[in-house]
Amino acid sequence: MFKKFSSEEVSAQNQVKASVQRKIRQSIAEEYPGLEPVLDDILPKKSPLIVAKCQNHLNLVLVNNVPLFFSIRDGPYMPTLRLLHQYPNIMKKLQVDRGAIKFVLAGANIMCPGLTSPGGALDEEVEAETPVAIMAEGKQHALAIGFTKMSAKDIKAINKGIGVDNLHYLNDGLWKMERLD
Amino acid sequence: MAEKPQPVRVLYCGTCSLPPEYCEFGPDFEKCKPWLIQNVPDLYPDLVKEANEKEAGKAANQLKNTSISSGSDDGAASSAPKQEAVKRLPGGKVKKKEKQEVVIEKVIRNKRKCITTVKGLELFGVKLSDASKKLGKKFATGASVVKGPTEKEQIDVQGDISYDIVEFITETWPDVPETSIFFIEDGRKVPAA
């Protein structure tokens, strides 16, 4: 969804109220318990939090003009890949095999067979409709952030079709937008 | 919690901004190679080997054909990658150069009415807004510049004017040769000339 994304698509950005800010922090903390100890570093209480509204019901959370989280239609907040690379263990991870990397980096959704094949790996606890980090066989860093369409068990059982929606991947528009002014 | 997980410092490729391990899947692996060899030589052992072999080959060549000591200098210059003129599309495809041609198509609307669309005039340096005005005047119909598919602009002229639009185009814009005007008939391109 960020295949083509540029600052032009930001329709409005404003500093949010303290109460909204608190809400965002809370929901992020809930979603990513692993992030809690460093949440103050990522989202400093003092510095203003900016929410940028973009097309397609997309919200970006910015701190110091750096996009850190995004959410769709008031869905869960998901970290950007740059943030995820810094704190790799905050999200559940799914691993795709080597053959899939090329397609994922072109924006394709993650198909079940790529996750179940020998090169892939599944976290059994992953439910449907949760944000996950997509890792790759033999690679150390995440290459995409996705939103599961089915639970890990279903992925294994059905083994067909789209397992994870690809939301944000390396070298897409959001990745290239290191700063938003 | 006393211990804070420290942020991982991730190295990103200076050329394509991806983590180096993904450079091979990046937009332009070839360009990343020099950076990779310099900064993360252990990630792609093959690359370094390759580069070393090249260096060795070069050195051998130099030994063969240089008698003056300036040899090392020009070796470095030749190893610099040549600037590629073609613009690369994402996915490594090379963008094709736009062919200069005018395509005329008749679109039937409401069974007996039609619209003639003219595409590609802008490739000959014709101002589309001027052209649409001229067309409208000549044929006494509505003519407008519209955004066609894939962000390209085309001129829509009301009515079937395909019979003498060719003549009109070649007369008003002498830059447009008759040979590069095409009709679309039954989905096939037919040269007008």
Check whether residue B187 and residue B143 sit in a common domain. Answer: yes
Answer yes or no: is B45 within a domain: yes
pLDDT of residue A14: 83
Separation CA A146–CA B153 (nearest Å): 36
Q: Is A40 on the interface with B (CB under 8 A)?
A: no
pLDDT of residue B182: 81
Which of A41, A139, A171 faces B26 most closely, judged by CB atoms? A171
- B123-149 burial by CB neighbour count: b if 16+ within 10 A, else e? ebebebeebbebbbebbeeebebeeee
Q: Where residue B58 falls among pLDDT bands split at 50, 70, 90?
A: low
User: Across the interface, do A141 and B10 touch by the CB < 8 Å criterion?
Assistant: yes
pLDDT of residue B93: 47
Separation CA B144–CA B158 (nearest Å): 9
Answer yes or no: is B82 within a domain: no
- Best mutation target, A2, A82, A141, to test chain B (most B CBs within 10 A): A141
Q: Kindly report, residue by residue over A162-178, the tens digit of the pLDDT.
A: 889 999 988 888 888 87
Q: What is the CATH number of the domain that holds B131?
A: 3.30.780.10
Check whether residue B61 and residue B118 sit in a common domain. Answer: no
Q: What residue ranges of chain A have pLDDT lower than 70? A: 181
pLDDT of residue A106: 87
The Cα of B88 is separated from the nearest Cα of chain A by a number of Å equal to: 14
The Cα of B22 is separated from the nearest Cα of chain A by a number of Å equal to: 8
Higher pLDDT, B4 or A175: A175
pLDDT of residue B107: 81
Mean of pLDDT over chain A:
86
Answer yes or no: is B117 within a domain: yes
Check whether residue B63 and residue B106 sit in a common domain. Answer: no
Q: Is A141 on the interface with B (CB under 8 A)?
A: yes
- The domain total for chain B is 2
Q: Is B2 on the interface with A (CB under 8 A)?
A: no
Answer yes or no: is B110 within a domain: yes
Mean of pLDDT over chain B:
72
Check whether residue B117 and residue B63 sit in a common domain. Answer: no
* Pairing between β-strand A162-169 and β-strand A110-111 as defined by DSSP bridges: antiparallel
**Chain A contact set for B27 (CB, 8 A):** 171
Check whether residue B120 and residue B62 sit in a common domain. Answer: no
Does residue B80 surpass a pLDDT of 50? no
Check whether residue B112 and residue B178 sit in a common domain. Answer: yes
Structural domain including B55 reads: 20-69
Check whether residue B177 and residue B136 sit in a common domain. Answer: yes
Q: Which amino acid is at B117?
A: T
Answer yes or no: is B150 within a domain: yes
Let me know how long chain B is: 193
Answer yes or no: is B33 within a domain: yes
pLDDT of residue B150: 63
In A, minimum Cα distance to B21 occurs at A139
Backbone angles phi, psi at B154, to 5 degrees: -140, 165
Does residue B30 surpass a pLDDT of 50? yes
Check whether residue B62 and residue B116 sit in a common domain. Answer: no
pLDDT of residue B75: 43
pLDDT of residue B121: 79
Q: Kindly report, residue by residue over B140-163, the tens digit of the pLDDT.
A: 888 888 876 666 778 888 887 777
pLDDT of residue B81: 44
Q: What's the whole-number mean pLDDT along residues B11-28?
A: 79
pLDDT of residue B66: 53
User: Across the interface, do B1 and A89 touch by the CB < 8 Å criterion?
Assistant: no
Answer yes or no: is B79 within a domain: no
Check whether residue B181 and residue B117 sit in a common domain. Answer: yes
Q: Kindly report, residue by residue over B81-139, the tens digit of the pLDDT.
A: 444 444 454 444 454 555 677 788 888 887 788 888 888 777 777 788 888 888 888 88
User: Across the interface, do B16 and A140 touch by the CB < 8 Å criterion?
Assistant: no
Nearest in space to A156 (alpha carbons), one of A119, A109, A116, A100: A116
pLDDT of residue B27: 74
Cα B80 to the chain's mean position, in Å? 24
pLDDT of residue B78: 43
Answer yes or no: is B157 within a domain: yes
Q: What's the whole-number mean pLDDT along residues B27-37?
A: 79
